[in-house]
Amino acid sequence: MNGRNDPSAGTWLRPYRSVLAELAQLSGVPDPVFETYYGVTLRAVAVRVRNQPAPGTAAPRLAVVLEHARNALRRRRDVRLPRGAAPHEAVAQADLWTYAAFAAVVVRALAAVEEETVSPAPPVAVVPVAGLVWLASDPTVFEHWLAAVAGADAAAEALGDLVRACLDAAAPARAPDGV
């Protein structure tokens, strides 16, 4: 299930409105673009993990994934992707690389919080078809994204470094107020 049409997604995401607003702002894309790519991905995550506690913490799995996503978008501003790109190249592809960082971190964080559960679909299934098409629109971005999702951080180069740093950062220890 992609989360787009599941009414429970809004219920699970409601306590995280401020985080979602920050993610939208940090993404740097217009609202319709955020909704098409980021929003659909986050609703799919919410439907998938609901409010289940993450292993080793009292925080819900959703809170953990959202915190890693926020770390990805915060850190992304300080990383030129791809490594060695000319400034004009980096600017031209900034939105795509930002989504690549976000989607890779979300998929890897989701895989980590689902370690102890059995899911019928791999974590990458939360990335909508539109997101995969966008990522695949640039072969270099897609190659690095696939490597980052697979955990081949060295092959993913700067994107892999960013994903690893985000996942190594501390996740929330408890649920946000109201959850």
**Domain residue spans of the chain:** 8-168
Q: What is the pLDDT of residues 95-112, one digit of tens each?
A: 999 999 999 999 999 988
Task: Give exposure, 101-127, as e/b (b: 16+ Cβ within 10 Å).
Answer: bbbbbbbbbbbbbbeeeeeeeebbebb
* Domain 8-168 is found in CATH 1.10.3210.40: yes
Alpha carbon distance 109, 45 (integer Å): 10
pLDDT computed for residue 172 by the predictor: 62
Place of tokens 């979300």: 106
For the whole model, what pTM was predicted?
A: 0.88
Q: Are 13 and 42 in contact (CB under 8 A)?
A: yes
> Does the pLDDT value for residue 157 go beyond 60?
yes
Phi, then psi, of 31 in degrees rounded to 5: -50, -45
Q: What is the pLDDT of residues 27-58, one digit of tens each?
A: 999 999 999 999 999 999 998 887 677 777 66
Alpha carbon distance 49, 4 (integer Å): 15
Q: Output DSSP code: residue 59.
A: S
